[in-house]
Amino acid sequence: MKKSLVAVLVTLLCCALILPVGFAEEYGYDTNIIGDGTQELSLMTYQNWDSAAYYDSTDGLLIENVLEKITGVKINWECISSDDFDTVAQTRLAAGMNLADIMRVPTVTGSVTKYANEGLLLNLSDYINEETTPNILKRFENPYIEAISTAPDGNVYALPYAEIGTNDIMINWVDIRQDWLDRLGLSMPTTLEEYHNVLLAFKNEDANGNGDPNDEIPLGYQNNQMFGLYCLKGCFGMTYGTDMWSVDSEGKVHLDLVDPRMKDLYTMLHDWYDEGLLYTEADNSGYNDLLSQNRLGGQTLLALDNVMTNQGLAYDLDNNAKYVYIPLLDNAGYYNGTSVPEEAKQLDKRSNGYWGYFAVTTDCKDPELAVRWMDYVWGSQESEDLRYWGLEGVTYDVVNGEKVFRDSITKSEKGSISEMRALGGWPNFVGYENGDAFLAMFKGAYPEQAEAEFKHYLRDQVPVLMGTDEENEIYTTYYNDLETYIKESTIGFITGTKSLDDWDAYVTTCNDMGLQQILSVRQAWWDRYTQF
Amino acid sequence: MVNKIITAPILPRKRSFYTDLIRDKYLLLMVLPTVIIFLVYNYLPMIWNLIAFENYSIRKGIFGSAWIGLENFEKFFSSPYCGRVIRNTFVISFTDLLLGWPVPIAFALLLSEIKSMRVKRVVQTCSYLPHFISVVVVVGMMHIFFSSTSGVVNKLIVNMGGEAIPFFSTASCFLWLYVFSGIWQNFGWDSIIYFSAISAIDPQIYEAAIVDGAGRWQKMFKITLPSIAPTIFTLLILRIGWLMSVGFEKIILMYNEATYATADVISTYVYRVGLLNADFSYGTAIGLFNSLISLVLIFGANYLSRKLTDTSVF
């Protein structure tokens, strides 16, 4: 017994010693292009989203190790789980001590300018020039990237962790069980009325075919939970999807959620709630259970890659399980009895294309090194390919001059993106990517078909820029309470704990709580954005 | 003739602070680490309460930031959520106190009546085991048991012909979920101190009572309860001091937009606006206000207890 244990341990130890360390030369990269291998930088960021592979593990992750060899700069990771990151980083920044050389700025609106004005973030503009940072300047040729990277004073203090390419093709909409429709002999709904009938059928009939007609939940939620039901506002003359804000043809910014047409949406949703068509939990508890118990007919605000993940969960019980997006539903009544004109059908992209900012702190001993590291890792095409495609011969092959992901990635049981993340790819830190890798990952699968169907409907969200001190002050003062109130009220309207007769009072309260001030800030951002 | 002996009053020998210091040096040395820990971790941070009155800027520090007086407090009292979070804090804490405080006492009283030591020990161990489960796990278990789609509680309701209740998304259920799960988790642990108080009662008193013909209930109410009353009231006063710091982590784990109306308390609000929103001055101001109420409460409770029962903490 003891002997065998020792044998196992010894074998494990040997394996650990001969694991490939990932020398960059092996894969055809130049090495030590920034440092000479002796320099170090500390980086404070989220822990890897793949829960089994840590950036800060002893051996490191393959792709990050190769990056270290290429740059010649060793990264000292300081990783914090994404849930706790803002709390930890804000406390650290408030103390203003022991900051990492490069850190993710907490994702609170106005953070970058606030901490830059406090003198905690380095002004990158002093270092950005053709010689030291050619790659950053190249990225700035895209006006949107320049707009979101530039503070109101014209300086650059932080670079966005941007996945603009993926966001440009990222659908975030309502899905439905295609196989349930087939089982009940229903066709894919195209109008709101048909959709309602489908949900009723899911509710009343044995859609999942397990013999129990009562265990199906016709519609559940993913992002934003029950509040996210507002995404159906497209059926009532606004845009479909995620964005609560809109800009009209005169360039004026509005908050859709106080639009009088929302009242009609909430009236309808409240009826649906009473009919038992909606999942009754307002938080996100339990939907994974429902998915794997094969009981969930669809979800709101679901991103494309999550459609695949959720399908995988339902697959265990029912290997015909197939989730697809519903079309952008028509609602004839709202367009004087005619269909929604094709050009008015717009689906919001999932996000603004970036997930936060990375900055060099003023605690950094060698700011030039840090900026050059950012230039290569954030800005260069080589780094983008390495981080999103991985290594040739390991994660992808080149076939007929085109990069093709290996089966080990595309057919991975835990999901292609997770598989890449386990190797250190698809990182959640500073970077830029153009979306090719995302599409290639799902070649021949449903996402490709969804792209063909939805791509021409996709619309940019109303941009969020870095605010001035004054704008940030307004945002911190009003936004938190206002958002809480809007979310609570929306859920109240849907579940019926708040009467829709109170709609006018709701709008008045929103205004009292600073909606107009917030709108003026959003307006200022929009006006500045249009100048880039 | 009686000789009056006049004795001079014995005057205390004049002792200086330093002689005391030298005499008690070892005792003082022993208490020193505790004093230092209290100073560093409990008193020194109080300086930071100053930022409640400032527009705190990291760069300028606590002594350099602009002084804005009571502006942050005014902001809190004019916030639409001020009334609600204060009310919820009181409702949740008082219900918790009212229902949660007698349970361990009753449990200790009843269990001490059991003769079999083995039964007593098993019951006691089982009752305080939940105390060691982390709050996250307890809330996770509650989510499973009370799930509207697959929870055992709702299965029961539905099988008896009722309609499933989304417990965690119903504002009126929040208070009871919070309070009763807290009682379930802590009554065993909290009763330990009462057990020890009960076991310290002199058995001769009981023997005398038996001779006088007292029954079980009479012994319990006439002897046990009065004997442990000082313990009960001391613990009550201490508990009132904690009243305003309701289980913040637990509420964060349990609440959502649908239950904010009854679940959002001062500490969770501070977390959202102060920490998540990085408005440290504002958060500190609300926190300071919270501490002031705690202070008033604990002094009030101590005063009342001293008047009514002659038991007090200070």
| pLDDT tens, position by position, A336-380 | 667 777 777 899 998 888 888 999 999 999 999 999 999 999 989
Query: Which of these, A114, A79, A113, lies nearest to A94 by C-alpha position?
Result: A114
Span B212-216, mean pLDDT?
A: 88
- Count: domains in chain A: 3
List Cα–Cα distances, A471 to A109, A134, A523, B59, B270, in angstroms. Answer: 10, 32, 11, 20, 22
Contact status of A91 with chain B (Cβ, < 8 Å):
yes
> What part of B 119-158 touches A (C-beta under 8 Å)?
143, 147-150
pLDDT value at position B1?
47
Residue range(s) defining the domain that contains residue B225: 53-115+189-309
Residues with Cβ within 8 Å of residue A106, at least 6 apart in sequence: A85, A86, A89, A90, A93, B278
Q: Which residues of A touch B276 (CB under 8 A)?
A: 86-87, 108, 480
Q: What is the pLDDT of residue A174?
A: 94
Q: Identify the domain boundary among A319, A345, A371.
A: A345
- Considering only CA atoms, which of B266, B310, B305 is closest in space to residue B89? B266
Secondary-structure breakdown of chain B: helix, strand, coil percentages, each rounded to the nearest 5: 75, 0, 25
Q: What's the number of domains chain B is made of?
A: 1
Same domain, A178 and A250: yes
List the single residue in A108, A217, A513 with the smallest CB-CB distance to B276.
A108
Please indicate, yes or no, if residue B153 is contained in any of the structural domains: no
A164 and A178 both lie in a single domain: no
Model confidence pLDDT, tens digit, residues A512-521: 999 999 999 9
Nearest to B251 by CA among B100, B84, B91, B135: B135
Of A313, A330, A345, the residue at which a domain comes to its end is A345
A212 touches chain B (CB under 8 A): no
pLDDT (tens digit per residue) in A237-247: 889 999 999 99
Domain boundary, last residue among A289, A321, A345 = A345
Residue span of the structural domain in which A56 resides: 30-168+352-457
Query: A238 and A132 in one domain?
Result: no
| Exposure class string for B214-249: b at 16+ Cβ within 10 A, else e | beeeebbeebbeeebeebbbbbbbebbbebbbbbee
Q: Which long-range contacts (CB under 8 A, 24 or more apart) does A188-197 make?
A: A188/A326, A188/A327, A189/A326, A189/A327, A189/A329, A190/A327, A190/A329, A190/A330, A191/A329, A191/A330, A191/A331, A191/A332, A192/A232, A192/A235, A192/A268, A192/A329, A192/A330, A192/A331, A194/A329, A195/A326, A195/A329, A196/A272, A196/A277
Q: Within an 8 Å CB–CB cutoff, is residue A293 touching chain B?
A: yes
Tell me, yes or no, whether A185 and A157 share the same domain: no
CATH of the domain at B208: 1.10.3720.10
Q: Do B260 and A289 touch (CB under 8 A)?
A: no
ipTM of the complex model:
0.81
- Give A28 to chain B, closest Cα distance, Å: 45
Distances (CA, A) of A225 to A283, B239, B251: 6, 37, 18
The mean pLDDT value for A416-426 works out to 89
The answer as to whether A19 is a domain residue is no
Do A145 and A511 form a contact (C-beta atoms < 8 A)? no
Of A20-24, A63-67, A284-288, the range with the highest mean pLDDT is A63-67
Closest CA of chain A from B310, distance in Å: 45
Helix or strand run (H / E) with residue A46: strand A39-46
Interchain contact, B169 vs A280, CB within 8 Å? yes
Q: Which of B57, B80, B168 sits opposite A285 (nearest CB)?
A: B168
| Structural domain contains residue B243 | yes
CATH number of the domain to which A303 belongs: 3.40.190.10
CA distance A376 to B208: 88
Given CB atoms, is B260 within the 8 Å cutoff of chain A?
yes
B90 domain-assigned: yes
Q: State the best of B65, B257, B276 to mutate against chain A, taking most chain A CBs within 10 Å.
A: B257
Question: How many Cα atoms are found within 13 Å in the side-chain-facing hemisphere of B240?
Answer: 19
Q: What percent of chain A clears pLDDT 70, i.e. is strictly above it?
A: 94
| Residue of B256, B261, B277 lying closest to A476 (CB–CB) | B277
Quick check: B245 pLDDT over 80?
Answer: no
pLDDT band at A172 (very low <50, low <70, confident <90, very high): very high
Helix/strand/coil for A417:
helix
C-alpha–C-alpha distance, residues A460 and A241, integer Å: 11
Q: Do A450 and A304 belong to one domain? A: no
Q: Give a yes or no: residue A24 inside a domain.
A: no
In this structure, are A198 and A74 located in the same domain? no
Q: From the list A283, A477, A513, which residue is nearest B169 (CB)?
A: A283
- Residue A313: CB atoms within 10 A of its CB come to 19
DSSP A315-365: HTT-TT--EEEPP--B-GGGGTTSPPPGGG--EE-SSSSEEEEEEEBTT-S
More confident residue, A209 or B16: A209
Q: Any CB–CB contact under 8 A between B171 and chain A?
A: yes
Q: Looking at the domain assignment, is residue A2 inside a domain?
A: no
Q: Which two tokens stand for residue A68?
A: 């270290």
Min Cα–Cα distance to chain A from B103, Å:
31
CB contact under 8 A, B59 and A96: yes
Mutate to test the interface with B, among A115, A214, A285, A294 (most CBs of B within 10 A): A285
Same domain, A148 and A205: no
Looking at residue A2, its pLDDT comes to 54
Is B166's Cβ below 8 Å from some Cβ in A?
A: yes
Nearest CA in chain B to A475: B277
Residue B7 lies in a domain: no
* DSSP code at position B11: P
Check if B279 contacts A (Cβ < 8 Å): yes
Helix, strand and coil percent figures for chain A, each rounded to 5: 50, 15, 40
B256 part of contact set with chain A, CB < 8 Å: yes
d(CA B70, CA B52): 8
Q: What is the pLDDT of residue A8?
A: 57
First to last CA, chain B: 53
Q: What is the DSSP string of B120-154?
A: HHHHHHHHHGGGGS-HHHHHHHHHHHT-TTT-HHH
From the CA of A178, how many Å to the nearest CA of chain B? 22
Express each pLDDT in B262-291 by its tens digit. 999 999 998 888 877 878 889 999 989 988
**∠ Cα A428 A433 A439 (to 5°):** 105
What is the arithmetic mean of pLDDT over A139-149? 90
* C-alpha dihedral sign at B273, B277, B279, B280: positive
Query: Which residue bears the tokens 């004049």?
Result: B14
| Residue A524, domain member (yes or no) | yes
Q: What percent of chain A has pLDDT over 90?
A: 50
Per-residue confidence band for A1, with pLDDT thresholds at 50, 70 and 90: very low
On chain B, the residues whose CB falls within 8 A of the CB of A114 are: 278
- C-alpha–C-alpha distance, residues A144 and A353, integer Å: 10
The answer, for A486 touching chain B at a CB cutoff of 8 Å, is no
C-alpha to C-alpha distances, B87 to A227, A471, B83, B93, B167, nearest whole angstrom: 25, 32, 6, 10, 21
Whether A469 has its CB under 8 Å from any CB of chain B: the answer is no
Q: Looking at CA atoms only, how far is residue B269 from chain A in angstroms?
A: 10
In a domain, A281, yes or no: yes
- Taking the C-alpha atoms of residue A196 and residue A277, their distance in angstroms, rounded to an integer, is 9
A447 and A361 in one domain? yes
Q: Which residue has the tokens 């700035």?
A: A140
Q: Give the pair of three-digit tokens for residue A485.
A: 């109130």
pLDDT at A431: 64
- pLDDT of B137 above 50: yes
Quote the minimal CA–CA distance from B158 to chain A in Å. 11
Task: Please state, in angstroms and rounded to a whole number, the distance separating the CA atoms of residues A24 and B155.
Answer: 58
**Residue B15 resides in a domain:** no
Contact residues, chain A, for B279 at CB < 8 Å: 476
**Three-point CA angle A483, A485, A490, nearest 5°:** 95
Residues A297 and A328 in one domain: yes
> In terms of CA atoms, which chain A residue is nearest residue B144?
A286
Cα of A11 vs its chain's centroid, Å: 41
DSSP conformational letter for A454: H
pLDDT, position A268: 95
A435 and A478 share one domain: no
Residue A6 CB-density burial (10 A; 0-12 exposed, 13-18 middle, 19+ buried):
exposed
By C-alpha distance, the chain B residue nearest A108 is: B277
Task: Please state the rounded mean pLDDT for residues B189-198.
Answer: 92
Asked if A120 lies within 8 A of B58 by C-beta distance, the reply is: yes
Query: Does pLDDT of B62 surpass 90?
Result: no
pLDDT, position A373? 94
Domain presence at residue B260: yes
A217 contact B CB<8A: yes
Report the alpha-carbon distance of residue A518 to residue A196 in Å, rounded: 35
The pLDDT of B180-186, averaged and rounded, is 93
Q: Is A363 on the interface with B (CB under 8 A)?
A: no
Q: Determine contact, residues B230/B141, Cβ cutoff 8 Å.
A: no
CB-based contact A475:A514 (threshold 8 Å)? no
Check CB contact of B257 with chain A, cutoff 8 Å: yes
DSSP type of residue B186: H
Nearest CB partner across the interface for A86, out of B59, B260, B276: B276
pLDDT score of A11: 56
Rounded CA-CA distance A527/A284 in Å is 36
Looking at every residue in chain B, the average pLDDT score rounds to 88
Return d(Cα A301, Cα A222) in angstroms, integer: 6
The torsion angles phi and psi of B166, rounded to 5 degrees, stand at -75, 80
Which residues does chain B have within 8 Å of residue A228's beta carbon, measured at their own beta carbons?
none
Strand-pair category, A175-177 with A323-325 = antiparallel
Distances in Å between the alpha carbon of A373 and those of A29, A85, B46, B262?
16, 23, 41, 50
Asked if A484 lies within 8 A of B261 by C-beta distance, the reply is no
Residue B68 lies in a domain: yes
**Residues of B numbered 48-77 whose beta carbons fall under 8 angstroms of chain A's beta carbons: which are they?**
57-59, 75
Report residue B203 as tokens.
């058995």
Does A217 sit within 8 Å of B147, measured CB to CB? no
Q: Is B217 part of a structural domain of the chain?
A: yes
pLDDT at A19: 46
Q: 3-state class of A73 per DSSP?
A: strand
Query: What are the chain A neighbours of B278 within 8 Å (beta carbons)?
Result: 90, 94, 106, 108, 111, 114, 476
Q: Which of A290, A311, A315 is nearest to A302 (CA)?
A: A311
| Interface contacts A/B by beta carbons within 8 Å | 105
Closest alpha carbon to A358 in A164, A102, A89: A102
Q: Both A210 and A335 in a single domain?
A: yes
Give the A window 113-152 contacts with B, CB below 8 Å: 114-115, 118-120
How far is the alpha carbon of A155 from chain B, nearest alpha carbon, in Å? 19
Tell me the per-residue pLDDT of B7-55, one tens digit each, with 9 for 90 and over.
666 666 666 888 888 888 899 999 999 999 999 999 998 888 999 998 8
Residue B306 confidence (pLDDT) above 90: no
Residue A281 touches chain B, beta carbons under 8 Å: yes
Confidence tier at A10 by pLDDT (50, 70, 90):
low
Q: Do A106 and B171 touch (CB under 8 A)?
A: no
Q: How close A206 comes to chain B (CA, Å)?
A: 16
pLDDT digits (tens, 9 = 90+) for A272-292: 999 999 998 887 777 888 888
Kindly state whether residues A275 and A222 are assigned to the same domain.
Answer: yes
The two three-digit tokens of residue A484, written as one number: 């809480």
Q: Are A442 and A416 in contact (CB under 8 A)?
A: yes
| A282 touches B at CB < 8 Å | yes
- CA A312-A316-A320 angle, to 5 degrees, is 75
pLDDT of residue B31: 94
- Measure Cα distances from A24 to A21, A135, A406, B275 in Å: 9, 21, 20, 42
Residues of chain A found within 8 Å of residue B85, distances taken between Cβ atoms: none
Q: What single DSSP character describes residue A204?
A: H
Average pLDDT over chain A reads 88
Q: CA-to-CA distance for A368 and A124, rounded, in angstroms? A: 9
